Amino acid sequence: MDEVFLSIRGRVLINVEALSMTESVGNYVKHRRVPVILQEEGGYSVYFVPAISGESIAHGYQEVLAQTALNMNPPLPVCKLCSKGIFLKSTNENVFKEAFGKSSPKDDNELEKEIIKGCLVEDVGGFLYAHGGRNVKRTSNFYTGYMIPVRESLQNVVIEPQLHTRYALGTSFVKKGAERGQMIYYVELASAPYVFSFDLDTKYIGKTTFTYQNAGKLVVNDRKMRLHVALNALKKFLLEMMFGAKKTRFLPIVDWESICISVSDDVWTVPSPFTKDYIERAKLKQEKVSYNTKLYSFEFGKGSFEDAVLNAIEDAKKRLDII
Ligand SMILES: [Zn+2]
């Protein structure tokens, strides 16, 4: 096989997390909130609930991707900015010059080719070059979105501000009635069982997509290595849950409740884990529609989370003929 499609859906209980924060108002840092609509007794209700943004998940995956590429021997190409976790991704001419150390090609197809060849993160995760009226874009080959609380929990999830202080009373840094030392501050924490969604489509990795004449043309000679790195990065990203903010002092308590990973020869997505029976629904779907689709799942008390992830990645690699 030349391509494989992975779809990952899961439910993960996360306690006391500050993984996705929005603005701070004075000394108060807010957790991200989103509206979620729910069908209830013949009508609909809206809940404002804590959420973790897809951007935050995408950032995490791309950081692992960059590091995995650079750790290979020999390393795979990653541009100067992406290698430092700065995902400006060829936004304009100045960014391009800084990232690749040269001016961008005038031809749109050549520009996409240059970026794909020079940076695995932008090859896999896409980019948008917008400069002087010229727009060249590459759609990301992976898809992710907001983590929101699961359906049964919507009435019971909480966001709570926690007071913190770095006062050092009794030291010369805090004088009576004069300097106040460092301000007290509040951080909003949330606890909820969240849904998790992530798809990876390997079809266009290492291939151009922007100009229709060249869409799907292979432009690298290390595509297999790139797929190997994308899959290894995904494995590490999942097993170590490498996304989210504020983890140095608000490291959350994480318990995976279930996960379902499909590996297919063509686009095939696992149903939404918002409702509890999603693994059952995935099996029913697989009976009706299958592109050589295999499911790897874990539910609390049935199998292990690590096995589901490792076996799915192994299957994908086998299909792509990667050792
Ligand atoms: Zn880059």
CB 279 within 8 Å of CB 299? yes
The one-digit pLDDT tens for each residue of the chain (323 residues) are 899 999 999 999 999 999 999 989 989 999 999 999 999 889 999 999 999 999 999 999 999 999 999 999 999 999 999 999 999 999 999 999 999 999 999 999 999 999 999 999 999 999 999 998 999 999 999 999 999 999 999 999 999 999 998 777 777 776 665 555 667 899 999 999 999 999 999 999 999 999 999 999 999 999 999 999 999 999 999 999 999 999 999 999 999 999 999 999 999 999 999 999 999 999 999 999 999 999 999 999 999 999 999 999 999 999 999 97
- Provide DSSP, 262-276: EEESS---PPPTTST
Return d(Cα 215, Cα 213) in angstroms, integer: 6
Q: Tell me the CA–centroid distance for residue 159 and ligand 1, in Å.
A: 36
Ligand 1 centre and the CA of 130: distance in Å? 15
Contact 238, 244 (CB under 8 A): no
Burial, 316: exposed, middle or buried (Cβ in 10 Å; 0-12, 13-18, 19+)? buried
CB 285 within 8 A of CB 272: no
Whether the CB-CB separation of 309 and 239 falls below 8 Å is answered with yes
CA of 94 to the centre of ligand 1 (A): 13
Query: What dihedral angle (degrees, nearest 10) is formed by the CA atoms of 117, 121, 124, 125?
Result: -130
Domain residues of the chain, as ranges? 5-156+189-319, 158-188
- Whole-angstrom distance, CA of residue 64 vs CA of residue 311: 20
Residue 179 Cα to ligand 1 midpoint, Å, equals: 46
pTM: 0.95
Task: Enter the DSSP assignment of 77.
Answer: P
- Which amino acid is it at 149? P
Buried b (16+ CB within 10 A) or exposed e, 27-57: eebebbbbebeeeeeeeeeebebbbbbbebb
CA of 67 to the centre of ligand 1 (A): 12
